[in-house]
Amino acid sequence: MLLQTYMPDHPVMAALIAGDRDAFLAREAEDRRARGLPPFGRLAAIIVSGPSERAVRDFARGLAARAPRGDGVETLGPAPAPLSLLRGRFRYRLLVKAPRDAPIQKILRAWLGAARPRGGLRLRIDIDPYSFL
């Protein structure tokens, strides 16, 4: 296996190089707890896609302007998705971060329920995503 990193001295990298699975898992859990990431917090990826990059970007920016705030809920983005053009569709992503006990589905429903994508735009929601591609 070949692994490239900008942070070769990071403790997670040291654990991987040493083959110390337990140290890796402990460090990863510690980092996730400190940042409120799953399983210690909640994430929701919101992907806006469509045939026009400008329309996708503008719609995503409008969503961000009306994003939920408070009670530990934070919305990051929008930003081009890592695969920003997929099958002829431009993609922008927002990421909602919330405490573990937050009613994330209810929050998203209240926020996105009024969103009306038009002109071939699509809105996709992924709760606690496994991948950000």
Q: What is the mean pLDDT of residues 65-84?
A: 88
Residue span(s) of the chain under CATH 3.30.70.600 come to: 41-127
Q: pTM to 2 decimals?
A: 0.77
Class of domain 41-127 as given by CATH: alpha beta
| Contacts of 127-130 spanning 24+ positions with Cβ under 8 A | 127/42, 127/43, 127/44, 128/38, 128/42, 128/43, 128/44, 129/43, 129/44, 129/45
Q: Give the pLDDT confidence of 79-110 residue by residue, as tens digits.
A: 999 888 888 899 999 999 999 988 888 888 88
